[in-house]
Amino acid sequence: MKVLKFGGTSVGSIDSLRNVKAIVESQQTECIVTVSALGGITDCLMDCARRASVGDNTYMELHRAMKERHHSVIDGVVTDASRHAEVTEKVDSLLQQLSTLFDAIALLGELTQRTMDLIVSYGERMSCVIVCNMLSDAALCYSPDFIRTRFRFGKHVLAPEATSKLIAQIVAPKLKTHRTIVVPGFIARDEDSGKITNLGRGGSDYTAAIIAAEFSAEILEIWTDVDGFMTADPRIVKNAVVIDRMSFVEAMELCNFGAKVVYSPTIYPVFNHNIPIVIKNTFNAQAPGTIIADGEVFATRMAGLTSMTPTAIIRITGCRPVNFDRVFNSLSRNGVDIFMASPEHGTFGLRGSDVESAMAILSDELADELTTGEIENIQPITGLSTIALVGSALDSMTDVDKVLINVLNGCGIPVPAPPRMNSSTTVACMVPEQSLHEALRAVHSTFFPSCTPIS
């Protein structure tokens, strides 16, 4: 049994959906097919909701354009007449609900997180109906019926026990009667309130991995719009090349440090069950793609380079060493992830979007020390990007930090947070946000010298 996941671009147009149909229908074994919303639709839904909430009526035009796009895709791929009518009716009913929701948001002038979670679910709810009916003999399993989340640290996280039980009850029996099952990615339901939630942006990859782990699938295939996991983001580093194989650990590190091609929580469930992941191109199915599997054989090589932006540093200064265990615990309890911790310098790194809440948490947690003067200052340094170089080879390399600094300084790029080994396979440092692209290109050409330079 295989799990195949098709991302937004793969299900975004008539031509790409035809490729999806050919790929799925050529499979020789049972498949669970997880689909994203049509490319760009999740952003569009969020945009409509925000416009409606501030009384900007142009949300109606966006809604009309979404309707036209879905209709045109249905016309292009659902060829059977009775199915065409049925799919159009289902999608129209979902679009009508959306229209009512947007009007209600406009009337109330208010948009809560719960309403936004409901709104963004519609992208996958529409796409799964289209994909399921485009395929010759597929059944639909609606993921909010079996993917459960709970609210922890300010976000929805998987509720594994409930999910596992429901997959066995709901999905497993369907797989006995159908060779292909279509599942909307990303969307879920809160285990207590029963409200619609999701697994976070890019979460369809994670839906597929959860299901693959539950069935001990032979493989998880992630079908996207590039030939595989590349040595760097191909939109920035034009001569990045496809990595043929990498270890789970390398993939986890690259994804944790921002490689967008796979949503980072995806790796854990399949890694645990030792299920290989293959990244493949829907638009070039013949290309071998990237295999992510067990890793020792790759010990002598650099895997890739990635980045996160915006990021920041928080520096805590005081007359006595700061108790960083307390600092890190208070942040993680409140959903703030940290990386590149340097307790000896009183600094740590975090996402730019977390700076405001981290400052509030720390001012509260360290209020007494700030009053007594034990801690002088908690200072954020923003406007930075983090770059991370990942590869099992780093484990046996010396002076990587010096090489990195020399390369960056050689291009006139200051390094406000010097390189730090984040693990035995990852070294990370921060550079000014405006120098990110130049930094990535320079570091890539140093550590991946065999990639052909682009003039």
Which spans of this chain sit near Mg ion (rule: CB under 5 A)?
Answer: 7, 202
CB of 3 vs ligand ASP, minimal distance in Å: 14
Among 2, 4, 8, 73, binds ligand ADP (CB under 6 A): 8
- Phi first, then psi: give them for residue 77, nearest 5 degrees: -120, -20
Q: Report, in Å, the least distance between residue 396 CB and Mg ion.
A: 33
CA dist 163 and 181 (Å) reads 17
Q: Which neighbouring-strand residues pair with 183?
A: 34
CA distance 135 to 181: 10
- The kind and range of the H/E element at 419 are strand 417-423
Residue with smaller CB distance to ligand ADP, 6 or 146: 6
Q: Please say which residue, 289 or 346, places its beta carbon nearer to Mg ion.
A: 289
User: What strands, in cross-sheet order, belong to the sheet with 304-318?
Assistant: 338-342, 347-351, 304-318, 375-390, 426-432, 417-423
Chain residues in the site for ligand ASP (CB under 6 A): 7-8, 36-37, 42, 123, 185-186, 201-204
Q: How far is the CB of 344 from ligand ASP (least distance, A)?
A: 38
C-alpha span between 354 and 47 (Å, rounded): 22
Regarding 259 and contact with ligand ADP (CB under 6 A), the answer is: yes
Q: Which is nearer to Mg ion, 144 or 202 (CB)?
A: 202
Contact call for residue 185 and ligand ADP (CB under 6 A):
no
User: Looking at 20, 226, 378, 429, which residue binds ligand ADP (CB under 6 A)?
Assistant: 226
Report the C-alpha gap between 186 and 121 in whole angstroms.
Answer: 8
How many helices (H) and strands (E) in the chain? 15, 18
Of 203, 276, 304, 349, the residue at the interface with ligand ADP (CB under 6 A) is 304
φ, ψ (nearest 5 deg) of residue 348: -155, 160
Least distance (Å) from ligand ASP to the CB of residue 139? 22
CB contact at 8 A, 422 and 341: no
From the list 127-135, 173-181, 259-267, 387-395, the region that binds ligand ADP by CB under 6 A is 259-267
Whose Cβ is closer to ligand ADP: residue 263's or residue 348's? 263
Q: How many CB atoms lie within 10 A of CB 273?
A: 15
Binding site for ligand ADP (CB under 6 A): 7-10, 36, 202, 224-226, 229-230, 232-235, 259-261, 304
